[in-house]
Structure 1
Amino acid sequence: MTVLAVFKHIVADSNTFLWPTLILLILFIFYCLKEEAHATERRIQISKLPTVTKTHWDNLVISLKLSRVHPRDMVDFFSDLFKNNGPLVHIKLMLRDYVIINDPDYIMALLSNPKHITKGPDYRMLEPWLNKGLLTSTGEKWHSRRKLLTNTFHFKILETYIPALNKHSRALVKNLTKASENDELIRDVGSHVTLCALDIVCETIMGVNIKSQEGKSSDYVNAIKTVSNILINRIITFWLWNETIFNISINGRAFYKSLKILHDFTENVIRERRQNLKSEKNPTSEKNDRKRIYSFLDLLIGISKENPSMMTDLDIREEVDTFLFEGHDTSSIAMTMALLHIGMNQNIQHNIRDELNEIFGDSDRDATLDDLNAMSYLGRVLKETMRLYPSVTGMSRELNQPLQLKNYIIPPGFIIGFSPHILHRNESIYPDPEVFNPDRFLPEQCIGRHPYSYIPFSAGPRNCIGQKFAMYQMKTVISTILRYMKLETLGTQKDIVISTQLIMRADSIPSMKITPLYNNNNCLA
C-alpha cells in the first residue's frame, strides 16, 4: 500500500475528520522514532511471538484495514489470523500491543488467574455509559462489588423470581399469537423476545414493572442498539480512540444523544423502585430482616440509605445500567437463536415438547424451579445455541504482570484478546462445528472436553455473575412458547447473518410461522 493509498483510505471514511487524523498520524511517526531509541527490550519480546505487524508500516496498514472491517466480517477477520498464524498471534494496533489467542490452555491460563482481571482498554470506551460498574471496574472496587452482588443471585432470591418469569413468558406467547393471526409471519421474532427479556429483568432484578411488551420501552431498546453499534465502530477505528475527535464526530454526537435516553431510563427505574420501597410495608421483624437476602436493586438502595458515601447515586446507576444491558440483551439474542433453530429442526422441537409433556402433562400450570431443573434436554439445546452464538463474541484483558502461555511469556502492558465465537467452532473440539447438535452436551460427550473450550459466560473469577438467572429465564420463556405453539422457521442456518457489536447482533434472520397448539386466550388467561 502506498502513502497515496493510505491517504485515500482515510478520506474515504465519511465519519473521519481529515486534519485530526493526519495530526494523529504525525504523532504516531514521532512515537515510532521514540520507540526505536527506548524499546529494544520490548522488540526482543515481540520478536519471539508470531506476529503480523513486524514493522511500523505493517502496524499502520493493519490498523487502517481493521478500521474498515464491517462488524459482520469481524469474526472472519480474526479467524483468518488464526488460520494463517496458529492459535497465538501478536498484532500491534497503533500504540497498543495485542496478543490474540484461540487455545483452551491459553485461555485457561489467562482467565483462571486472579492476577489477570483487568479488562482491556476497549472497555474504557464504555465508561461514559456504564461508568466503573461490575463489568468495567477492576482491583479492590471490583472485588468488593463482586462479593456484594453475588448474594443477590442466591438461589433463594432466584426462586422468588419464578412467578415473574412465568408472567412475562405468557405475555410473550399472547403477543406472538396476536402477531401471527391470519397466518401472518413473524418477520423479527427477536424484537418480541427482547421486550420480554427487558420486562423480566426489570421486574425481577430491579423490582419495577415497565411494561415493555405493551410498547412502553421502545426508545430504550433502540438507544441500546445505537450505542452498541457506535461503540464497536469506535473500538476498531483507532482515530476515534481520542476523546476529542470522537466527541466532535458524527458518531460521538449520536452516541451522547442516545446515552441520555439510556441514563434517563435507568434513573426512572431507580426512582420508581425507591418510591415503591417507601410505600411497601415490611412484614418481617428487625431480627429476621438481618438474615434477609436482598434482591439486586433493593440491596443497592438499602446501602445507599444507610451509608451514602459507600453507595452513591452514581454507584447505583452504574450497576443498574450494567445489569439492565447485560441482563436482557445477552439472553434475548440467545433465546432468539434458540427459537430459530428449534423451528428449523422439527425433531429437536418434538424432543423438547416430549420432555415438557413428561413434566407438565395436560396441565397449564406455571413452571416451578424444580420443573426448570428437570428440563435437561432443553438445557442442552440452549447450551448448543450458546456454543454457536455466544452473546459476547470477543473479550480482552490488559496484563499488569507477565503471563506464561506454554513457550511464550507475554509482558505486562500487552492486551490479550480471545473470541468465544471462534473458540466454539474449533473443529478439533467440536466435529462438524457448524451443525446444530444438542447431543454434544450429553454428559458422556462432555467427558474429557477441556473446561475452557466452552465459555459463553466467560470463566474464572470474572465469569458471568447472572448465568443461573439467565438459564432459568431462557428455559421459562422457551418452554412456555413450546407448550402452546408450534414453530416453523422459513429458512436455514445460512440465512442467519450475525454482526459483532458489543454483543452479537442478528443483521438478518429468517421469518417464522407460528401456529397455536390450543386456544391460547383460554390457556394463558
Structure 2
Amino acid sequence: MGKKIYAQSNSDSEYVKSVYKMSDIISRRQRTPWFWPNFVYNYFGDGREHDRTLKVLHSFTNKVIHERSENISHIESDNDSDNGTKRRRAFLDMLLMTTDEDGNRMNNQEIQEEVDTFMFEGHDTTAASMNWAVHLLGAHPEAHSRVQQELQEVFGTSNRPANMEDVKKLKYLECVIKEALRLFPSVPFFARNIGEDCHINGFKVPKGANAIVLTYALHRDRRYFPEPEEFRPERFLPENAVGRPPYAYIPFSAGLRNCIGQRFALMEEKVILAAILRNFSVEACQKREDLRPLGELILRPEKGIIIKLEKGFYQTSSCSG
C-alpha cells in the first residue's frame, strides 16, 4: 500500500494488535449463534469491543488513503526513477488511479473495502498456507527432492532473486502449494446467502437461506481426490486434473465473491518457498496427526509446527541430522 507499519519489529503497533483482536472477535461470534443478532451482540456480547477495534482498522486505512490521494498528482507524474527506469507503484496508487469506462474513479469507500481486504486477509492466509506446505515437504522427502531439483533447473547455482519468468517455471512447486491448500485450506469454511430457491439431493433450499461451505471436507471427496488424506502434488499436474469439476477444489472460494488476491497469493508463496528451499533442506519434527488443525477464521495447527532446517544450497532432501 506504500505505507510502512513495521509490523514485524513493532508488534505493539495498535494496528497490528487490532488485526489479531478482530480475528478473535469474529471467530468467537461465529461459534456463538445467540450473538448473531446485532442488538443481542451489542448489549451482551463483544459488540462494543468489535466497534472500537473496527474503528482503529478503518481509521488507519482511511488515513493512508487520504495521504496517498492528496499526493495523487505527484504519484501520476513521478513515473521514472533517477536512472530512467520505471518506478514501481504501490497497489493503493493503482486503486486511486483506476477509472471505469466513463472515466470515473473509485470513491474512498470502494477503495477502503479493497484495501481492508488485502490488509486484513492478505497476510495470515498466505502465512498459514506456507506453514502447512513446509511441514508437508519436510514429511515427504520425495516431493522435497523434486522441488529442489526443479529449483536447481531454474536457478542453477545462482543466488539471484526470483523474477516473474522464474515463478512461471516453478510448476511442481505450484502443485505442492495447491495440494497443501487442498489438505489444509487457509479458510476452512465460508458462507453464502442463497439467491434463489434450489434443490440439493432432493431437499429444497429456499432463497435467503445461509449456506456454509466446508472447504476442508469438500477437498476430501474421494470421487475427485482418491486417497484424499495422502499428500500427492501430482494431482495438480495438468494431465491429472482433466475432468475434475471446477468446484471440487475451491481454496480461494468461487464465483462472483471469490478471492480477489488468489493469483497474487500463489506468486507470493512460490517466491517465499523458493527462497527457503534454495537455502535450506527441511525436515518435519511432527506427525500430521499430532498437529490437530483448528478451524477458526484461518486453519492453524493447535500448537504450531516444528521443523528442522539444514543450511546448504540444494542439500539432500531428507535433512538427516
TM-score by length of 1: 0.52
Matched, 1:341 2:136: yes
- How far apart are residue 317 of structure 1 and its match? 2.2
Matched, 1:258 2:53: yes
Report the equivalent of 1:382.
177
Equivalent pair of 1:495/1:510 in contact (CA under 8 Å): no
Matched residue of 1:397: which SS?
Answer: strand
- How far apart are residue 458 of structure 1 and its match? 1.8
Which structure shows the bigger proportion of residues in helix conformation?
1
Larger RCO (CA under 8 A, 6+ residues apart): 1
In the comparison of the two structures, how many residue pairs are matched?
A: 303
Structure 1 pair 310–249 and aligned structure 2 pair: CA distance change class (3 A): farther
Matched, 1:391 2:186: yes
Out of 116, 119, 129, the position equivalent to 1:321 is: 116
Equivalent pair of 2:138/2:282 in contact (CA under 8 Å): yes
Matched residue of 1:395: which SS?
Answer: strand
Out of 227, 237, 251, the position equivalent to 1:432 is: 227
- How far apart are residue 310 of structure 1 and its match? 6.7
Matched letter for residue 282 of structure 1: S
Matched, 1:244 2:39: yes
Report the equivalent of 2:84.
none
Structure 1 pair 324–514 and aligned structure 2 pair: CA distance change class (3 A): same
- How far apart are residue 241 of structure 1 and its match? 1.6
| 1:128-167 alignment, distance < 5 Å | none
Report the equivalent of 1:500.
295
Q: Could you tell me how far apart the structure 2 residues matched to 1:218 and 1:334 are?
A: 25
Equivalent pair of 1:485/1:514 in contact (CA under 8 Å): yes
Out of 423, 428, 441, the position equivalent to 2:218 is: 423
Report the equivalent of 1:517.
312
Q: Could you tell me how far apart the structure 2 residues matched to 1:476 and 1:371 are?
A: 9
Report the equivalent of 2:318.
none
Equivalent pair of 1:495/1:509 in contact (CA under 8 Å): no
Matched, 1:225 2:25: no
Equivalent pair of 2:196/2:206 in contact (CA under 8 Å): yes
Equivalent pair of 1:492/1:510 in contact (CA under 8 Å): no
Equivalent pair of 2:72/2:96 in contact (CA under 8 Å): no
Structure 1 pair 266–507 and aligned structure 2 pair: CA distance change class (3 A): farther
Report the equivalent of 2:198.
403
Equivalent pair of 2:219/2:225 in contact (CA under 8 Å): yes
Equivalent pair of 1:387/1:424 in contact (CA under 8 Å): yes
Q: Deviations over 1:240-299 (max 9, x none)?
A: 1222321233533433343343234323433453466465471569xxxxxxx9864224
Matched residue of 1:213: which SS?
Answer: coil
Matched letter for residue 154 of structure 2: I
| 1:73-472 alignment, distance < 5 Å | 206-215=1-10, 219-249=14-44, 251-274=46-69, 277=72, 279-280=74-75, 282=77, 296-302=91-97, 311-405=106-200, 407-472=202-267
Matched letter for residue 443 of structure 1: P
Matched letter for residue 276 of structure 2: I
Q: Could you tell me how far apart the structure 2 residues matched to 1:387 and 1:421 are?
A: 7
Out of 274, 277, 280, the position equivalent to 1:482 is: 277
Q: Deviations over 1:104-143 (max 9, x none)?
A: xxxxxxxxxxxxxxxxxxxxxxxxxxxxxxxxxxxxxxxx
Between 502-511 and 331-340, report the one with greater CA deviation.
Answer: 502-511
Between 272-281 and 375-384, report the one with greater CA deviation.
Answer: 272-281
Structure 1 pair 313–302 and aligned structure 2 pair: CA distance change class (3 A): same
Structure 1 pair 516–360 and aligned structure 2 pair: CA distance change class (3 A): same
Q: Deviations over 1:63-108 (max 9, x none)?
A: xxxxxxxxxxxxxxxxxxxxxxxxxxxxxxxxxxxxxxxxxxxxxx
Matched residue of 1:416: which SS?
Answer: strand
Q: Could you tell me how far apart the structure 2 residues matched to 1:280 and 1:303 are?
A: 13
Equivalent pair of 1:208/1:273 in contact (CA under 8 Å): no
- How far apart are residue 463 of structure 1 and its match? 2.4
Structure 1 pair 505–257 and aligned structure 2 pair: CA distance change class (3 A): farther
Matched letter for residue 18 of structure 2: A
Q: Could you tell me how far apart the structure 2 residues matched to 1:458 and 1:483 are?
A: 31
Equivalent pair of 2:194/2:207 in contact (CA under 8 Å): yes
Equivalent pair of 1:393/1:503 in contact (CA under 8 Å): yes
Equivalent pair of 2:18/2:56 in contact (CA under 8 Å): yes
TM-score by length of 2: 0.82
Larger radius of gyration: 1
Q: Could you tell me how far apart the structure 2 residues matched to 1:425 and 1:388 are?
A: 8
Q: Could you tell me how far apart the structure 1 residues matched to 2:282 and 2:122 are?
A: 25
Matched residue of 1:396: which SS?
Answer: strand
Structure 1 pair 276–434 and aligned structure 2 pair: CA distance change class (3 A): farther
Report the equivalent of 1:13.
none
- How far apart are residue 455 of structure 1 and its match? 0.9
Q: % of aligned pairs identical?
A: 37
Structure 1 pair 409–331 and aligned structure 2 pair: CA distance change class (3 A): same
